[in-house]
Amino acid sequence: MNPIPKSISRRDVLRSTLYAGTALAFPAWASVAGANSDVRVAVIGFNGRGAGHIGSLLKIPGCRIVALCDVDSKVMEKQVASLKKQNIEVRQYTDYRKLVEDKEIDAVTIATPNHTHTLIALTALAAGKHVFVEKPVCHNITEGVALLKAGEAVAKRGQILQHGMQRRSDHGWAEAVGFVKSGSIGKLLLSRGTNYKMRPSIGKVTGPHEAPASVNYDLWSGPRSMAPIMREKFHYDWHWQWAYGSGDIGNQGPHQLDVARRVLGDPKKLPLRVMSFGNRWGYSDDGQTPNNQMALYDWGQGQVPILFDNRGLPAKDMEWGKSQKDGRMPVYYVTGQGKGGSTQIGNVFHCEGGYVAESKAYDNDGTMIKKFEDFREGPDHMPNFIASIKAGKLVSPDLDISHGFHAACLAHLANISYRVGKKAKPAEIAERLQGDKFATATFENFAQNLEADKIDIGVDQAVLGSWLSFNSDTYKFEGEFAEEANKIAVEEYRKGFELPVVA
């Protein structure tokens, strides 16, 4: 590659290639930063998870936070003031595109709303930055493929692209997965993910709302159109609207889907088939995503399937609690009501001779036979990012962006099945699940939970998605409903917010 002439500035290169959506090879002026000095990091988006990034980074030796970027000036002011109390001065940006031009920044972490994760990650990679991007790493399958390819390209030159699947750096989960793979409790039959988390109504507006005065709505919208805001709470409740979020299966779900996939040996391809059903029950609001949802993933050829079960309503009588531990949220009991292992937000590995439920292994009678230690939600995950930058390569294959890609796309596949689905009677769902004892039992409990909340799914029916066939070589749906499904797998990008191609 020819060096860039001195007469052409870094900013000129970025503006002429990066934002035009064309391929950009690794800049000659970029190098593997941080190998022998502090890694200079910028955090992009910190009204939620990004605040955790800041807290983690401040504890890591050999790392300095030098800049922040957020589209909300109030959020910025609050965080800058907090850092100033710790004698930390940072440069402030509103536009991520301006931030990546800053040659005094080596790496960025991204925790913005979901619909901008991939766009910002690709933009930063193209500018030569190391990138940590939160889950879900992509908002649709097409941009996920672009991120996956970018990861393969930058890895060859020591540039780090890491996902935010913190459980990949959790020692307890590694031990639990290894225990199952060892065959200690027999052959694996099913890998289950659960997310039982109460999600009350987000309300229903009578007309469009204005963005908060402190928010640059153009930059917040990013690749999406600057559509009228149809929700009461501007921040966070975008999770339940398709243009920006992916519902709970795309919010909390990737963590459990990643663990579920890990025990299968991390299949290199996405499943051959996927089917999902659910609905948004219990209230009428501005949310679009289901609050209760089941998803089934089939790889075929004798591969163990994954079942994901999401519940967002209380255990009974629509009695909303204040926490997950106040007894008002459903609990999944593996052996039976009140027996053996259980989980609300977590994973279960069903085997012939027993099962693993979160940090403990049980026999089929529900007697605990082993406890796995050091379940701490991956406190080493961000330190691993900094260590990888210094090493010029990922310190563990578990940090590879492919894992974030698969976890996010499993959520997207299920949502696409749901979105092309039709209302169906309970008997139709039961017939679809016939022959699958785990799915049948889960659906029965799923329906019982709704009945306990006085919801009659014979009247207020579930949306039943078809089994969709997916080709992991082309990343396209095939067969029945493929045309409709493939349209959902890609989105539009506004001028000025096109996806860069990182070569």
The beta-carbon contacts of 147-151 under 8 Å, at least 24 apart in sequence, are: 147/118, 147/121, 147/122, 147/401, 147/405, 148/401, 148/402, 148/405, 149/502, 150/121, 150/122, 150/125, 150/502, 151/400, 151/401, 151/402, 151/405
* Residues 399, 371 share a domain: no
Residue 431 lies in a domain: yes
Q: How many domains does the chain have?
A: 2
CATH number for 294: 3.30.360.10
- pLDDT tens digit string along 357-392? 999 999 999 999 999 998 877 889 999 999 999 999
Q: Give pLDDT < 70 ranges for the chain.
A: 1-36
* Residues 265, 236 share a domain: yes
CA–CA–CA angle 470, 475, 477 (5° rounding): 35
| Residues across the chain | 503
- pLDDT tens digit string along 57-76? 999 999 999 999 999 999 99
* Residues 325, 181 share a domain: yes
pLDDT for the residue numbered 374: 82
pLDDT for the residue numbered 19: 38
Burial class of residue 92 (count of CB atoms within 10 Å of its CB; 0-12, 13-18, 19+): middle
Residue 3 lies in a domain: no
pLDDT for the residue numbered 321: 84
Residue 4 lies in a domain: no
Pick from 421, 398, 407, 402: which is nearest to 488 by CA? 421
Instruction: Provide the domain limits for residue 141.
Output: 10-167+381-403
pLDDT for the residue numbered 36: 60
What string of DSSP letters covers 466-491? --EEEETTTTEEESTTHHHHHHHT--
What CA–CA distances, in Å, run from 384 to 364, 381, 391, 461? 37, 5, 10, 46
* Residues 181, 154 share a domain: no
CA–CA–CA angle 15, 19, 24 (5° rounding): 85
pLDDT for the residue numbered 35: 52
* Residues 47, 64 share a domain: yes
* Residues 483, 342 share a domain: yes
CA–CA–CA angle 156, 8, 100 (5° rounding): 55
pLDDT for the residue numbered 3: 33
* Residues 352, 227 share a domain: yes
DSSP-derived letter for residue 240 is G
